[in-house]
Amino acid sequence: MRWLLPALFLGITSLVEALNSKGDYRLLVVLEELAEKSKYSKYIADLEERGFSLTFESPKNEKVALFHLGERAYDHVLILPSKSKGLGPNLTPKLLLDFINGGGNIMLTLSSSVPTPSSLVSLLLELDIHLPTDRNALVVDHFNYDTLTASEEHDVVLLPRPDAIRPDVKNFFKGDGKGGDVIAFPRGVGQTLGNASPLLTPILRAPRSAYSYNPKDDVEGVEDPFAVGPQLSLITTMQARNSARFTVIGSAEMLEDKWFDAKVKRSVGLGGVGTDAKTVPTVNQEFVKEVTGWTFGEIGVIQVFNIEHYLNEDGVKSNITNPKIYRVKNDVTYNIEIREYFWDRYRPFVPPAGDSIQLEFSMLSPFHRLPLRYVKTPSGWGQYTASFKLPDQHGIFNFKVNYKRPFYTNIEEKNTVTVRHFAHDEWPRSWVISGAWPWIAGIGVTVAGWVAFVALWLWSKPVPLKLTTSGKKVQ
């Protein structure tokens, strides 16, 4: 029975740790008309099944607040389209930015049928995300539209699942990876991204034949569209340096029930693609779940669970872990355990193919930059390790792991140690150093010569003096 209580305590601790890994579950839904809640019933039910505690508030409610006593009152915010020109004094761009800086996540949805409030336009400009100057502008595509619901307007754009932005970046939005999935983007607003922010990453871009225009204008007279093709980002993400996440979904209708299980049929595209298209269901529900899961920290979350470094002279591990001081030219080993939280559980983190985690041993600049190698451990979680020899330079150094990749939370771990020079009794003896032998021989010859001189002086008999009869010395 003695082991039962510790095991129970360990199980409860693991459960609490898993629950807190993706933050808490307090989600504020900003919805102007509660009657529109029914349009998102499936999406809301899915959030509640995943453990989120939803609070619905109107932007007109003056009591809504993102902070209470200086702390975040909510962990996530979902902003649905609002007809108001602003979101009130408690949802200003500054407060929303403060919410992000405090570690909160925000998902913003737009709609071409409802002009975006000026406060949200200002917020997006702060993040270098630009919307069309025409408040009613939407994205159309005359070659990739749904013939069942947009045979004339061509404003329901059909797209495949997005590819990875780079080969060495993991794609969390590819579904099962089999291909053939269709995403419906109905009557959405496209965005363009500035070049100044490295924190912005588009999830879904418009096809090359799409463009943004105001439906009130003459379609045939569009000469200078806001943006065309892949210049238009349909879903944009921003991950701050504190790993808080912000997502802009250009079409709020993607979250509605009617598009979760809608049937669509693709038009004839460029080069006759789609002439034999069939009616297929959309994957909006699965895709929106992935986007929401990433925004609210259910996927793409990596955490450091253990760091250790120690002496490893001649392959023998020291019993002292994480010492504060080393000596120059010591052999050391650095280990770090990283886990990835994926939906509802932890799993060992493995970087995508072509990517690696690096360790820096630096003072002002790195003296070593080494790739960390993954090794299995008895616990099953594995760890990343590197062994190296410290530089011949004493001072204050840092073991630093700085891993920042799109769609993953940032890891920046720094452990400071002191590297001292050799102590007087740690230098190798002079007779071991072959270069010192001539000097040792010189010292020996000098000592031997001095001893010989002293011996000769002490044991040599002095010459007796000759004296005259008068007592004077004779030369």
How far is C-alpha 134 from the geometric centre of its chain's CA atoms? 35
DSSP secondary structure letter of residue 429: P
Q: Report which listed range, 2-16, 170-184, 230-244, 272-286, is most confident.
A: 230-244
Residue with the two structure tokens 């794609």 = 171
pLDDT, average across residues 404-433: 89
From CA 430, how far away is CA 444, in angstroms rounded? Answer: 13
Q: Cβ contacts of residue 352 below 8 Å, gap of 6+?
A: 167, 168, 169, 170
**393: pLDDT confidence band, cut at 50, 70 and 90?**
very high
Residue linked to tokens 């009613």: 136
Q: Which residue has the tokens 């039962």?
A: 4
Contact 266, 279 (CB under 8 A): no
In this prediction, residue 199 carries a pLDDT of: 93
pLDDT at 222 exceeding the cut of 90? no
Could you write out the three-class secondary structure of 308-342?
EEEEEECCEECCCCCCCEEECCCEEEEEEEEEEEE
Q: What is the DSSP string of 233-259?
A: EEEEEEE-TTS-EEEEES-GGGGSHHH
pLDDT value for 224? 76
Which of 1-10, 48-57, 392-401, 413-422 has the lowest average pLDDT?
1-10
Which range among 19-28, 79-88, 254-263 shows the weakest confidence by mean pLDDT? 19-28
Model pLDDT for residues 318-358, shown as the tens digit of each residue: 999 999 999 999 999 999 999 999 998 999 999 998 899 99
Q: How many CB atoms lie within 10 A of CB 9?
A: 10
**pLDDT band with cut points at 50, 70 and 90 for residue 446:** very high
- Quick: pLDDT tens for 114-159: 899 999 999 999 999 999 988 889 999 989 999 999 888 899 999 9
**pLDDT of amino acid 46:** 95
pLDDT at 466: 67
Check if the beta carbon of residue 256 is closer than 8 Å to that of residue 44. no
277 — pLDDT class (breaks 50, 70, 90):
confident
Cβ contact 268:143 at 8 Å: yes
Is the pLDDT assigned to residue 261 strictly greater than 70? Answer: yes
Residue-wise pLDDT for 51-60, tens only, equals 999 999 998 8
- Under the banding of pLDDT at 50, 70 and 90, the label for residue 67 is very high
Buried b (16+ CB within 10 A) or exposed e, 128-160: ebbbbebebbbbbbebbbbbebbeeebbbbbbe
Are the C-beta atoms of residues 117 and 129 closer than 8 Å to each other? Answer: no
The number of angstroms, rounded, from the C-alpha of 173 to the middle of its chain's C-alpha atoms is 17
Is residue 239 over pLDDT 90? yes
- The answer, yes or no, to whether residue 272 has pLDDT greater than 70, is no
Q: Please say whether the dihedral angle defined by the alpha carbons of residues 425, 428, 429 and 430, taken in this order, is positive or negative.
A: negative
Work out the angle at residue 447's Cα, subtended by the Cα atoms of residues 441 and 450, and round it to the nearest 5 degrees: 140
Calpha distance 364→355 (Å, rounded): 25
Model confidence at 221, pLDDT cuts 50, 70, 90, reads: low
- How high is the pLDDT of residue 7? 43
Please give the average per-residue pLDDT across 1-24, as a whole number: 44
pLDDT score for 471: 59
Tell me whether strands 325-327 and 411-420 are parallel, antiparallel or unpaired.
parallel
With b for 16 or more beta-carbon neighbours within 10 A and e for fewer, the 330-358 pattern comes to bebbbbbbbbbbbeeebebbebeeeeebb
Instruction: State pTM to two decimals.
Output: 0.84
Task: Write out pLDDT tens, residues 89-100.
Answer: 889 999 999 999
pLDDT computed for residue 134 by the predictor = 85
Average model confidence (pLDDT) across the chain: 88
Q: What local confidence, expressed as pLDDT, does residue 10 receive?
A: 40
Mean pLDDT value across residues 27-43: 92
Rounded to whole angstroms, the Cα distance separating 226 from 189 reads 11
* 186 has pLDDT over 80: yes
- As a whole-number percent, the residues of the chain with pLDDT over 90 amount to 65
DSSP codes of every residue in 107-133: EEE-BTTBPPPHHHHHHHHHTTEE--S
If one compares 266 and 219, the residue with the highest pLDDT of the two is 266
* Look-up of token digits 């020291």: 318
At residue 2, the pLDDT reads 46
Which letter does DSSP use for residue 343 in this model? T
Structure tokens at 459: 């044991």
| Between 21 and 447, the higher pLDDT residue | 447
